[in-house]
Amino acid sequence: MHSAGSFSVQQILSLGLIPRAGNATCPRNITTSLCEFSEMWYGVFLWALLSSVFIYVPAGLLGFVMLRHHKYGRFISLGIIGGILGPIIAAVLTSAAIAGVYRAAAKQMVPLEALVLGIGQIFFVVAIAFLRILATL
């Protein structure tokens, strides 16, 4: 069992993903890389899910607190929290597409790539959402 201070950067970035040892699909049998489609998809999706929760849940809670005395406004903020389903479904599909490209190219994915790709997906979802709002003004 690890104490709170003994986690390595690799363990934190992998989010508990343990690549299978002796994986025949990994060239040179590198155990720190994600080689299977499911491992890559899961790694990218977990980072996208985590970053999505950190964006949408505080936004919904802030909206609920600010609009708690409004007659209908408190229900609008619940829509923001409910609006997390769209980005999560998009993250499922785009994570599968990314993992499929990596798998088809026979490329290995390190956990840092999964972090960048997962957070990058949500960054673009939020950027597109802001640009759509600005276009209506």
* pLDDT tens column, 83-103: 778 888 889 999 999 999 999
pTM summary value: 0.74
DSSP designation for 106:
T
Taken as a whole, the chain contains a residue count of: 137
Domain boundaries, the chain: 47-136
Measured distance CA(126)–CA(22) in Å, rounded? 39
Three-state DSSP at 109 gives: strand
Judge contact between 90 and 125, C-beta under 8 A.
yes
* pLDDT tens column, 39-72: 889 889 988 988 888 888 888 788 778 887 887 7
